[in-house]
Amino acid sequence: MQEQRETQYLVISFSHKHIDLTLREKLAFGDEEKLTFLRKLCECEAIKEAMLLSTCNRVEVYASVLDTKVAREYILENLESYKHIPIATLRECADIRLNQYAIYHTFSVASSLDSLVVGETQITGQLKDAYRFAYENLCCAKDITRLMHYAFKCAARVRNSVDISSSHTSVAGAAIHMLVAKFSQYGESLDSKEAVVLGAGEMAILALKHLAKYDTKITLINRSLQNAQNVVENFAQEFACKVEIKPFSQLQEVLDRADVLVSATGAPHSVISAEMIRPSTHKRIWFDLAVPRDIEEVQIENLEIYKVDDLQEIVTKNKQQRQENAKDAYEIVEQYTQEFFKWLQTLSVDPIIKHMRSLAKDSSLKELDKAIKKGFLPSEYRQNVEKILHNAFNTFLHKPTIRIKEAGESINSDPIIEAVKSIFDINDEIVMLNKYTCEEYFTESKNTKQS
């Protein structure tokens, strides 16, 4: 009989804290590649479930595993194969976390404590999208669902209890703030500038919202004209000015006039080549917020191009105040990490089955004692009747025991186990949260990154 191995949580992280933009670009995943990679991971016997988060600032694998060493090496080997990065480089750069450290890291990411812009709101949505993607493609089930449920719960508590945000709660917001500061240094403002936003995903939408606060002429360009039109229609009330939509075929013409460019597509390669960037007599400031980068590197007069990692200038401002507030947030993360493991213990079916059998035995012996005391049964028959009762409740509980064990392996196990606990009045220190299924995260409206 094969020995049953305990499920453990594993996170392998490559983030802005440990690796530069060049390596993050190489590690970045598109949706099609992401699905192929996740399915490959799930072929490993040591990996039960897997989820992949790929953003401009991080690429992370979240997994429930049966053998941490085998799972870790399998993930790194496949990253080497898919991304053509030497495994020695991956081992050196990877931040590998296990069990409580993996949970703590996950909750910190969800709560935006590990973000480049601490307190930015975009990461929670990105994590929900990553979970939804893995779940809908059958790459994760019970284990990751439990983890994500608690991560989103922790993030909500941090967001509602602690002010960890600067005035810029997104990478795009920080970029526009830096843009304003740069023009101010030259004695200019954003007002009356011609701004171009390239892309129609969440980052581009946030850039549009921030640019709309100024008296700026804004042009939106996207490969899919329909997606661009949908963005303007859906967010028209939030845009304080008219946004002009132009087809991707006019990109060159628009670039020649653009004082400001915010590029945030999901393209797997650059979309603005060096040849497309022409000299200009007026000052231009462009932001490339995409990973991989949208704009090829070029040195040209009167043009400054900033990328995601350059936002560190904004991030460090007021850092001391945010770090002070973040202490309370980290305490919440620590609390939820501890509660999560206590909660997992209440979901084990073995103690429930044991308690059910104990209740059956105690009830049987209690009635047997009553029968002997009242003279319904001679005391010398006690041992034989006790055996009969024992066999009777074992027979009665046989199928329920099998069904409960089967339910314990199902993604729907939590509400089933809670119902059993309620029926048999089995109480725990931590009350199980029987109402969640993470359905709320499937029904939420979301902005899919498009290009």
Q: Are 57 and 18 in contact (CB under 8 A)?
A: no
Q: Are 221 and 294 in contact (CB under 8 A)?
A: no
**CA distances, 219 to each of 192, 248, 257 (Å):** 13, 11, 11
Q: Where are the extended beta strands (E) located within 92-162?
A: 95-98
Q: What are residue 263's DSSP bridge partners?
A: 198, 288
Q: Helix-strand-coil percent breakdown of the chain, rounded to 5?
A: 55, 15, 35
Q: Where are the extended beta strands (E) located within 138-293?
A: 194-198, 217-222, 243-247, 260-263, 284-288
Q: Are 164 and 325 in contact (CB under 8 A)?
A: yes
Nearest partner of 154 among 296, 329, 294, 278, judged by Cα? 329
266 is in an annotated binding site: no
201 is in an annotated binding site: yes
Catalytic (active-site) positions: 56
Distance of CA 267 to the CA centre of its chain: 21
139 is in an annotated binding site: no
58 is in an annotated binding site: yes
281 is in an annotated binding site: no
C-alpha to C-alpha distance for 397 and 95, rounded to whole angstroms: 47
121 is in an annotated binding site: yes
200 is in an annotated binding site: yes
408 is in an annotated binding site: no
Q: What are residue 262's DSSP bridge partners?
A: 197, 287
C-alpha to C-alpha distance for 366 and 381, rounded to whole angstroms: 15
Provide DSSP, 51-78. EEEE-SSEEEEEEEES-HHHHHHHHHHH
C-alpha to C-alpha distance for 436 and 142, rounded to whole angstroms: 12
297 is in an annotated binding site: no
56 is in an annotated binding site: yes
- What single DSSP character describes residue 375? T
204 is in an annotated binding site: yes
Binding positions for substrate are 55-58, 115, 120-122, 126
Binding positions are 55-58, 115, 120-122, 126, 199-204
